[in-house]
Amino acid sequence: MKIKKIYKQNKQAKQPTISLEIFPPKKDGGIETIYQTLTELGDLKPDFISVTYGAGGSGAVNNTLEIAAHIKEQHNIESLHHLTGIMANDQDMLKTLKAIQERGVENILALRGDVPVGSEAKSSDTYQYASKLIEEIHSFGKFCVGAACYPEGHIERRAAIENMEHLKQKEEAGADFFVSQLFFENDSFYRLLDDARSTRICAPITAGIMPILSRSQVERMIFMCGVSLPSKLIKIIHKYEQNIDDLRKAGLEYAFEQIDDLLKHGVDGVHVYTMNRPNVARSALTRYKNLLTISSEVNF
Ligand code: FAD
């Protein structure tokens, strides 16, 4: 099923769309581990599961398509195949799209990607921005296409105005929905929603939430994505950094509070970055099921 249809059905049922993100394991043989993780998540039945793709085209090597097809075939859950254009030429891209279509995966998250750190290879000019890739995917076949959005602006351009112009271009190119970069302050997401709706961007916009598991993970995210850390979270990390279990519990609790608040605000959806940890996804979804009681009282 196309994910845009899932958003539509959930909206009619006054329910948010709940999704999870996993990444293909880097180690050889890691695919069995991810299949085990997916078996554990099977009966939670999120609305869809997305699978990331290496910017250097390493999705083919690290099994994005294999995993996305497995989610659909073995678990009967819709999958979202991430795809990056930055290193691809049009011939590579057509081959990849053909392979995705042949495996019956119907949804693609179209991304520009970044040149891999330490790579000497040059980026390709063919898909300079995600909007170009979105157009290419639609002209290839009948896919449902999602794209990324940035509550605090993309790291290369922080100005809200440019952020919106580029988001609008992606919708005009055919983006059917948006998934946000992680953020730790819900207000930044609400600002993005207000700006998007007043720019007449109508597609569903899902909030990306990443529970904190360690100090190093947070530092990596700040450096890579430029996200801000609210003082409440800094204090939590400071308080529990010597005890990893307590930090994880507090990090999950912080993420749950973010999710509670988002659902109360009637957001289109919540996308949990699971980091391939079944316990993160399990607790988030179990909590979500309890929260359905709250969200059913909210007007979407
Ligand atoms: P774009 O929308 O093309 O934007 C890139 C930059 O160009 C932005 O600064 C934008 O403002 C600017 N821009 C856009 N259009 C124009 C224009 N017409 N003129 C001038 N400037 C313009 N990376 C991976 O490698 N693999 C993944 O699986 C992956 N999954 C992701 C999932 C989500 C939900 C998110 C939020 C990000 C993901 N990323 C992934 C990271 C993403 O590839 C990077 O953030 C990348 O730097 C930008 O990708 P984009 O698709 O948003 O690019």
Task: Tell me the pLDDT tens digit for each residue of 109-152.
Answer: 999 999 887 777 778 889 999 999 999 999 999 999 999 999 99
Residue 114 Cα to ligand 1 midpoint, Å, equals: 8
With tokens 């190119």, the residue in question is: 173
pLDDT of residue 291: 59
pLDDT for 40 beyond 70: yes
Mean pLDDT of the chain: 89
User: Which structural domain, as residue segments, surrounds residue 62?
Assistant: 3-299
Number of domains in the chain: 1
Give the CATH number for residue 197. Answer: 3.20.20.220
Which pLDDT tens digit goes with each residue over 241-289?
899 999 999 999 999 999 999 999 999 999 999 888 878 877 777 776 6
Residue 170's pLDDT is 98
Using CB distances shorter than 6 Å, the residues near ligand 1 are 52-53, 55, 82, 84, 111-114, 129-131, 148, 154, 156-157, 162, 166, 169-170, 179, 181, 208
What digits encode the pLDDT tens for the residues 185-242? 999 999 999 999 999 999 999 999 999 989 999 999 888 899 999 999 999 999 998 9
**CA–CA gap between residue 176 and residue 163 (Å, rounded):** 18
At 32 the three-state DSSP class reads: helix
CA of 110, closest atom in ligand 1: 51
How far does the chain reach from its first CA to its final CA, in angstroms? Answer: 23
165 is catalytic: no
d(C-alpha 273, C-alpha 211), whole Å: 7
Q: What is the rounded CA–CA span in Å between residue 217 and residue 237?
A: 11
Of these ranges, 4-8, 86-90, 288-292, the one predicted with the greatest mean pLDDT is 4-8
CA dist., res. 11 & res. 265, Å (int): 14
Q: What is the best residue among 20, 52, 62, 112 to mutate for testing ligand 1's pocket, by most ligand atoms within 8 Å of CB? A: 112
